[in-house]
Structure 1
Amino acid sequence: TIPLQTEVEDVYLKDDCFYVNFSLALKEKHPGGSSGELLTIYSIVNTLLINFPSQSRVQILIQDKPVETLAGHIDIRNPLGKRLDIVKEP
């Protein structure tokens, strides 16, 4: 659900939050839809927070700035926590 053209431009930590800065392609090339947007956002958030349990939030940035949404459905202006309810158990 992450467009192929998307680049991670920067990742840094501040307090208990990852800041992940993506290229504009994450927003402009996103296929859309509420389910697709949810999966894109939480594939990023859950991957980081499950693998780095000492951190509790992820802020998604596009070209160094927070954006309202990726595709019009989910507010990502503020840092997000894990959503394990959307993870399929093996």
Structure 2
Amino acid sequence: MSVISKSILLVDDDQEIRELLQTYLSRAGFQVRGVPDGAGFRQAMNEAPCDLVILDVMLPDEDGFSLCRWIRQHPRQAQVPIIMLTA
């Protein structure tokens, strides 16, 4: 019997934090896609659905709160849980 792993979209502009979380979550059995900014987030959300978003509040091109509002306006992804990260 195979177990389908849950997918996580990780959005953080700090490469070290992003890689650390990707490694940890991958080892825990999750499929993790990491992107550094709002543009990458929007592209990733349009390409493939995810089961959870981990979203940094402070990003270089757009803040995490506006991205949170954006995802809530899209019927396909409106119910995806979001964990907000902040320093």
For normalisation by structure 1, the TM-score amounts to 0.29
For normalisation by structure 2, the TM-score amounts to 0.29
